[in-house]
Amino acid sequence: MTRALVFGKFLPLHRGHLALIDFARRHCHQLTVLVCASDLEQVPGAVRAGWLRDVYAACPEVHVQVLDYRESELPNTSVSSEAVAHAWADRFRQVLPDINLVVTSEPYGAMVAARLGIRFLDFDLGRTQEPISATAIRADMRAHWACLPGSVQAYYRRTVAILGTESTGKSTLTQQLAAHFGAAYVAEAARDIIPNSTEICRADLLAVAAEHARRIAEARATAGPLLLIDTDVHITQSYARLLGEDYLELPAALYATNRADLYLYLQADVPLVDDGTRLPAAARLRVDALHRQTLAHFGIQYHEIGGAWPERFAQAVGLIEVLLKQAATA
């Protein structure tokens, strides 16, 4: 029986890795995919193993295992070196004594197999079939987004919620940011369900919460590394308080769907545009206070955005760029 080994960091897992693993599957009866996770890397080995198990859930011959190691004990390098290959091969012998085939797309694979005294198969050493690398992906996640499996995309995707009281430019800013970043966005559901802010009932708010969550879930299925949300469930909740009622009773899953990585709150320091469907100026400020109370009640921390329209846009872009950079190295 051929028991093969594919090993790597999978940081992140991408289409080239999957091609290698699928090649190995065709040449063995059992395949161990070993996630080598250093103590200095940000993404835990268990997370990376989860990505692989998600992709190969229907393949019982594929066994995913994590090898946690300290860089002070084992070299973290892709440079082909006999000394490095031997150090890793000796560790592999300890954790996987029964393997009899090594499959890699790196030159050092042959050295590892030789040290173990087992067979070696190389796959696409010139990277002609899948000319991508994890290093390039980490450097520009957006450009290589399509190379990532869905579970990996979900890990790196970041969601930004644009919040604020009426007539603070939430929808306009959301659309401007979507155009700037080439990102997907979810439009405010209340505009389609409640034509006039002066005429709201609890049933309307329940309908808005459900519809907005549905739209967010649908958008996440195809969104890129950034998803923008125009208002969220907490804003809907504060309108329940405006009616003089308790917060809506909503399932935990709905809050999870609405969860954002960054909340931008637009200050009410721009003129009210009264189009006949909005609350009067005094009520607008009251709703602003209710929004802030609601966000505090639910433990939501946010960044305030204020000033003239260009200033608001620049502030939002800066905060989102920081978020995306952090995501790429998370």
Predicted local confidence at residue 41, as pLDDT? 93
Is pLDDT of 278 > 80?
A: no
- Tell me the pLDDT band of 279, cut-offs 50, 70 and 90: low
- Tell me the pLDDT band of 327, cut-offs 50, 70 and 90: confident
* Closest listed residue to residue 203, CA positions, set 256, 240, 232, 258: 240
Is pLDDT of 275 > 70?
A: no
Predicted local confidence at residue 162, as pLDDT? 98
Residues forming beta bridges with residue 3, ordered by sequence position: 30
Predicted local confidence at residue 76, as pLDDT? 82
Predicted local confidence at residue 259, as pLDDT? 97
Q: Between 107 and 16, whose confidence is greater?
A: 16
- Tell me the pLDDT band of 305, cut-offs 50, 70 and 90: very high
Predicted local confidence at residue 48, as pLDDT? 98
Predicted local confidence at residue 252, as pLDDT? 96
Is pLDDT of 123 > 80?
A: yes
- Tell me the pLDDT band of 64, cut-offs 50, 70 and 90: very high
Domains of the chain, each with CATH number or no CATH: 3-151 (3.40.50.620), 157-328 (3.40.50.300)
Whether the Cβ atoms of residue 164 and residue 287 lie closer than 8 Å to each other: no
Q: Return the H-helix or E-strand segment holding 246.
A: none
- Tell me the pLDDT band of 192, cut-offs 50, 70 and 90: confident
| Rounded Cα gap, residues 322 and 324, in angstroms | 6
Mean pLDDT of 247-255: 96
Computed over every residue of the chain, the mean pLDDT equals 92
* Closest listed residue to residue 225, CA positions, set 182, 179, 196: 182
Predicted local confidence at residue 156, as pLDDT? 95
pTM of the predicted model as reported, rounded to 2 decimal places: 0.87
Predicted local confidence at residue 211, as pLDDT? 96
Listed in order, strand segments (DSSP E) in the chain are: 3-8, 30-38, 62-69, 101-104, 119-122, 158-164, 184-186, 226-230, 262-266, 303-305
What percent of the chain has pLDDT above 90?
A: 75
- Tell me the pLDDT band of 28, cut-offs 50, 70 and 90: very high
Mean pLDDT of 74-83: 80
Both tokens of residue 80? 């082909």
Predicted local confidence at residue 202, as pLDDT? 92
pLDDT in tens, 100-122: 999 999 888 999 999 999 999 99
Both tokens of residue 198? 């002066």
Q: Worst-scoring range by mean pLDDT, 54-63, 116-125, 227-236?
A: 116-125
pLDDT in tens, 214-234: 999 999 999 999 999 999 999
* Closest listed residue to residue 175, CA positions, set 283, 12, 309: 309
Is pLDDT of 277 > 70?
A: no
